Amino acid sequence: MRRQRSPRPLIFAVEAGRRRRPPWRRWAFVVLAALLASGAAAVVATAGRDRAKPTTTTVARRTPPPRARQPKPAPRRTSAIDHVLAYTPFVARGTPRHRLIALTFDDGPSPYTSKIVDVLVRMHAPATFFIVGQQLTDFSSGLRDELRHGFEIGDHTENHAWLIRLGAGGQYTQIHTAAARLARAGAPFPRLFRPPYGAFDARTYAILRRLKMLMVLWSIDPGDWRRPGVRAIVQEVLSAARPGGIVELHDGGGDRSQTLAALPALIDGLRRRHYQLVTVAQLLAADPPPRHQPVPTLGAA
């Protein structure tokens, strides 16, 4: 009778079965276990870093409030000038639709220019300055003050010449030389021109058309260049003030202490009468001159 073998313990059978599995399976299990372990460690580390971050980096970005509706921008300065040049070569006043008045200053810069600029800046009063080119030799700081504060700059010839006493070439030299000086000093090439003494002729018109300049005259002249007194300057401007007016004052060409002293009362008086002060270009944009304006008589500037 054949002797039967006793069965192997179960544990040995399992170990034997494991030994019979291909070797690559054991390494696959090892690699998979390592990947799972490293992934879990990365998740834990990331969570730890997130908890360590300052709270300011985890705050959600707020949605900005809706922007307030902005008013439409005013027409550009050059566009307003070009529009007026299309139908007239000069302006003496604007159409009186709004209570606007333009303050202008001639013959500077001078020792008084920076002080006048200070008053205008302090009182938030726009203005236009018509520059005599030769004055920039000694008083260019006045022009720099005007440009720094955004005042409007125009041409008033090279040395305040009587244009009607000059030929076409002489007039061109007077106008263009001053304009070139202004451009070299940092100002935009001027588009506005004021003839000294208000004197001009057909040759002046032709030169300004060539240079794309608009001639700017005036409707209110208090005669401050004669030095009639501070009170007289103020009263003359206020009594002659009309909507669309252009006021001719002086910051150069002599002693302008009375003009300087009159300026605060003059500005306050116009505002009490509900006038808004503007530059010439702003006046052209809001209240351009009528198409059939009369040519003014010879004046003094």
Rounded distance, CA 297 to CA 245, Å?
A: 16
| Whole-number Cα distances in Å, 88 to 162, 189, 212, 246, 267 | 22, 20, 12, 17, 30
Q: Other C-beta atoms within 10 Å of 48: how many?
A: 9
Cα of 286 vs its chain's centroid, Å: 18
Please tell me the predicted confidence (pLDDT) of residue 34. 52
110-133 pLDDT, tens per residue?
999 999 999 999 999 999 999 999
Q: Tokens for 73?
A: 């921008």
In this prediction, residue 278 carries a pLDDT of: 98
Residue 106, phi then psi, degrees to nearest 5: -115, 160
- The proportion of the chain whose per-residue pLDDT surpasses 70, expressed as a percent, equals 72
Alpha helical stretches, state H, the chain: 10-20, 23-52, 77-85, 113-122, 136-148, 168-184, 202-211, 230-240, 257-272, 280-286
pTM over 0.85: no
pLDDT at 109: 98
Radius of gyration of the chain (CA): 41
For 290, half-sphere exposure in the C-beta direction (CA atoms, 13 angstrom radius) is 9
- The per-residue pLDDT for range 235-259, each reduced to its tens digit, is 999 999 999 999 999 999 999 999 9
Any residues with CB less than 8 A from the CB of 262 and at least 6 apart, and which?
224, 230, 231, 233, 234
pLDDT given at position 292: 85
> Would you tell me the crossing angle of helices 113-122 and 136-148 to the nearest 10 degrees?
10
Cα distances (Å, whole numbers) of residue 218 to 66, 73, 158: 45, 27, 20
Using 70 as the pLDDT threshold, list the residues of the chain that sit under it.
Answer: 1-76, 296-301
Q: Which are the catalytic amino acids?
A: 106, 250
Tell me how far the alpha carbon of residue 215 is from its chain's centroid: 24
